[in-house]
Amino acid sequence: MLTDDKVHEIHVARKLALQPGTILVMDRAYIDYLWMDRLTESGVFFVTRMRADIKYKVTKKRKTPRRAAVLRDEEILIRSATHGVELGLRRIVIWNEQKQEKLVFLTNHLDFAASTIAAIYKDRWQIESFFKSMKQLLRVKTFVGTSANALKIQMWTALIAMLILKFLQWRAKFGWSLSNLVALLRILRCGVAPTHNLLRAGSH
């Protein structure tokens, strides 16, 4: 779905048709009580970071594993008089050893282990890293067209190119990084270096 850049992503998200059992991973900008209530009723799960200004009541404290990063695992109730909704959610507090900080997650999934919920949110960064690599390595920073069709063609072309690069990286005998591999292919395109065995050779 393509929209004007002035349209906030939450308006697009509300229109998505999601299958029951789907797990959404989103940042705090997507916290919308009415939408979250509708997702829960539709059997769609979500994992997000909890905003500090959200007021809640703890209804149940769940057991946390010993000697683990899970500091709290509790079921909470959020009432919003403005939106006329009452949400029964789960609040999980994780200690991030690397950054030396607490991470607080909010989810409507009651069955997964707290550590699994944290891992699901962490996997979101793989998507962020993928698009960051696509913009940096393939130089997809501006669009060559403004129509919906032009944007789709450019994005699909970039995704196919990234898939080919990943395949070449996997087949290469030497452990090329994606950035070095892209630089190598640019050199080959300009005819500066011979093509034979370059993907198998290492740099010294």
What does the pLDDT average to over 71-91? 93
- Indicate the pTM of the whole model: 0.67
Q: Average pLDDT of the chain? A: 81
Q: What percent of the chain has pLDDT over 70?
A: 80
Q: What is the dihedral of CA 70, 76, 79, 84, to 10 degrees?
A: 100
Measured CA to CA, the distance from residue 131 to residue 1 in angstroms comes to 17
Mapped onto helix, strand or coil, the DSSP state of residue 77 is: strand
Q: What is the mean pLDDT of residues 179-196?
A: 64
For 171-194, what is the mean pLDDT?
Answer: 69
Per DSSP, what are the bridge partners of residue 87?
78
CA distance 27 to 64: 24
pLDDT of residue 203: 44
In the chain, pLDDT over 90 holds for what percent of residues? 41
Query: How sure is the predictor about 8, in pLDDT bands with cuts at 50, 70 and 90?
Result: low
What would the pLDDT profile of 16-73 be if each residue is shown by its tens digit?
A: 888 999 999 988 888 899 999 999 999 999 999 999 999 999 999 999 988 789 999 9
Greater pLDDT, 12 or 37: 37
> CA triplet 165, 125, 2: central angle to 5 degrees?
75
Q: Which pLDDT score, from 0 to 100, does residue 201 have? A: 47
Distance CA 71, CA 179 (A): 39
pLDDT in tens, 105-134: 999 999 999 999 999 998 887 777 777 777
For residue 196, is pLDDT > 70?
no
Residue 178 binned pLDDT confidence (cut-offs 50, 70, 90)? confident
E strand spans, the chain: 23-26, 45-49, 57-61, 70-80, 85-96, 101-107
pLDDT at position 181 is 74
CA separation (Å) from 158 to 134, 139, 144, 164, 167? 7, 9, 12, 10, 14
135-137-138 Cα angle (round to 5): 70
**Is 128:115 a contact under the CB 8 Å cutoff?**
no
Longest dimension (CA), the chain: 69
Query: Reduced to 3 states, what is the DSSP secondary structure of residue 104?
Result: strand
Find the mean pLDDT for residues 164-183: 77
Residue 107 or residue 149, greater confidence? 107
What residues form DSSP beta bridges with 58?
Answer: 76
CA 156 to chain centroid: 19
| Residue entry with tokens 């690599």 | 133
Residues paired with residue 187 on neighbouring β-strands, in sequence order: none
User: Three-class SS string for 37-72?
Assistant: HHHHHCCCEEEEECCCCCCCEEEEECCCCCCCCEEE
Higher pLDDT, 167 or 113: 113
